[in-house]
Structure 1
């Protein structure tokens, strides 16, 4: 068993990072299909691990490196992934990824999840004309209609912007709609909207060291038949810093976990409320590693508790 860092060093040294398949990251090296989960209320299945586009992905996009972004998206699709989560608020991510996907002929192969927010993170009223213009910009960038999923980002003026998304869904231009937040002070508002609105999805932060969603939001999502995109499954950088220089526990192999990235992701996607986890990365080899968490055995409740205890014991 090796750490993600050791694995990446080895693969880079061997020059094979882009050629490996997720099966090579499994403890027993056996080929298996990606685990999928149905969007609630439908028969549509999605691989439980996708790709996000904030953080390092956004930085690469901001450099205008379309070729590198294309390589990341190609790795996702080649290895069986589909879900790509982005937003106009993630710098150049939506624009550059859309261009790269169209150039590579991937636009129709991806499940595009983007966002709508002209109200801003700190609230305020959204200009309906500006919101509609932003949505049209997303259509142009992504090159796909209908867009699979559009969510109101960070609960920005939900009344105005969710109404616009409902119009787009009714017109057949958006397949699914929802709300997102990764801010604790907005969790109560999110719960209220989940009870009052007809939503297909929510997008929230969730990780082995960040389990607030298990208390109220996830049970409500299951009750209401709402899909969940899990953001920040690595705790942004927190979890990587916590396991720095540490080897995986031996028992992780029993659940086809070969790297810390897969450990973190298997905890997230083993929660039945989670439809897809969308870790962000700027490296194709990380995409492949992450997809390894969508293969093989998932932890049961007892093992999930053991995973939490193990991470907490690291201090």
Structure 2
């Protein structure tokens, strides 16, 4: 896996990372994977040259950060561990916090959970509408000056807020949902990142598993799976969206790869500033995902693939308000 500059502030990471959320939270299927096997998977990622690990303080329980500590201890210099603060959970609702005291509390807790003295890349997970973005980033800047954090990132941010934040302290990376069936980011936030020299970290590059072609019915998700709350995965919408997958599967077969590999290859062809972070609990799928980096697509193949998944044919919002979710996404990335 190629190592390249992530952003323009000096950070170097693998061109494809490992999204670690699903290792300890959010995605519950009928399959069971032991903690030992999850640790083996992350270590295998390192053997394949994947150095960028994406975590957050809210991924769990069990704690995602503590799981990663078992992998990186004694080898901190080998990895680029990114983690986040800013999402809060209160019963059935989700919110955001970005006040200085909370940021410092979260940073200290993540340092302890990861077992490190410095966090390589620290994201604000969601923007707190009650706190000016400049104030939040000013506190994050202090953490850099104190040596607790090296590089700063933002997740699900609008172009306007990104500009305000970048004026306070250079932002190294923006994490956003980007895949064949989530293209809103191409309108404004992607051009803004490129104008400012900010790396683009694409989460859910496989559409939360949809673009693997593996999930065709809600019965495949166990109770508590986050996808059961998402509009695109409601049974009626899911069945309509499956018509999109038929064409993707046909194109993948013609290319001699899996639908997931085709979707990842498409993202890699969007530019060297794009770092997809697919997640999985299985070493075979990890290896398949890494292999997607070397798949070459012609301009015509890219055009055909994009035409097969037009935004107008994707049914359902990315998040919606199914859990009383507050400020969880910038669905147009320019609000």
Q: TM-score, normalised by structure 2?
A: 0.70
In structure 1, the partner of 2:206 is 234
In structure 2, the partner of 1:177 is 152
Q: Using a 3 Å threshold, how does the CA distance of structure 1 residues 113 and 139 change in structure 2: closer, same or farther?
A: same
SS of residue in 1 equivalent to 2:208: coil
For the pair 1:161 / 2:161, whether they are aligned, the reply is no
Contact 2:54 2:82 in 1 (8 A): yes
Q: How does 1:92-171 map to 2 (within 5 A)?
A: 92-102=62-72, 105-117=74-86, 121-123=94-96, 126-156=98-128, 157=131, 158-171=133-146
In structure 2, the partner of 1:66 is 35
User: Which of residues 191, 207, 211 in structure 2 aligns to 1:219?
Assistant: 191
SS of residue in 2 equivalent to 1:279: coil
SS of residue in 1 equivalent to 2:174: strand
Contact 1:47 1:294 in 2 (8 A): no
Contact 2:16 2:52 in 1 (8 A): yes
Q: Specify every segment of 5 or more residues in structure 1 that has no aligned partner in the other structure, as ranges.
A: 1-33
Q: How does 1:221-300 map to 2 (within 5 A)?
A: 221-239=193-211, 240=213, 241=215, 242=242, 243=245, 246-249=249-252, 251-253=254-256, 258-272=257-271, 274-297=273-296, 299=297
For the pair 1:76 / 2:79, whether they are aligned, the reply is no
Report the alpha carbon displacement of residue 137 of structure 1 after superposing the two structures with TM. Answer: 1.2
Deviation string for 1:124-182 (max 9, x for gaps)?
A: x545333212111111121223211001011234344322211111222211101101x
What is the distance in 2 between the residues matched to 1:194 and 1:307?
35
SS of residue in 2 equivalent to 1:113: strand
In structure 2, the partner of 1:307 is 305
Q: Specify every segment of 5 or more residues in structure 2 that has no aligned partner in the other structure, as ranges.
A: 216-241, 315-335
What is the distance in 1 between the residues matched to 2:309 and 2:34?
36
User: Which of residues 31, 51, 69 in structure 1 aligns to 2:18?
Assistant: 51
Q: TM-score, normalised by structure 1?
A: 0.74
Contact 1:99 1:142 in 2 (8 A): yes
Contact 1:117 1:161 in 2 (8 A): no
Contact 2:6 2:273 in 1 (8 A): no
Contact 1:57 1:280 in 2 (8 A): no
Report the alpha carbon displacement of residue 35 of structure 1 after superposing the two structures with TM. Answer: 3.4
What is the distance in 1 between the residues matched to 2:187 and 2:101?
38
What is the distance in 2 between the residues matched to 1:301 and 1:37?
24
What is the distance in 2 between the residues matched to 1:250 and 1:228?
29
What is the distance in 1 between the residues matched to 2:33 and 2:107?
22
What is the distance in 2 between the residues matched to 1:95 and 1:44?
21
Q: How does 1:18-33 map to 2 (within 5 A)?
A: none
SS of residue in 2 equivalent to 1:237: helix
For the pair 1:187 / 2:158, whether they are aligned, the reply is yes
Deviation string for 1:174-213 (max 9, x for gaps)?
A: 11101101xxxx6355455466443111100000121111
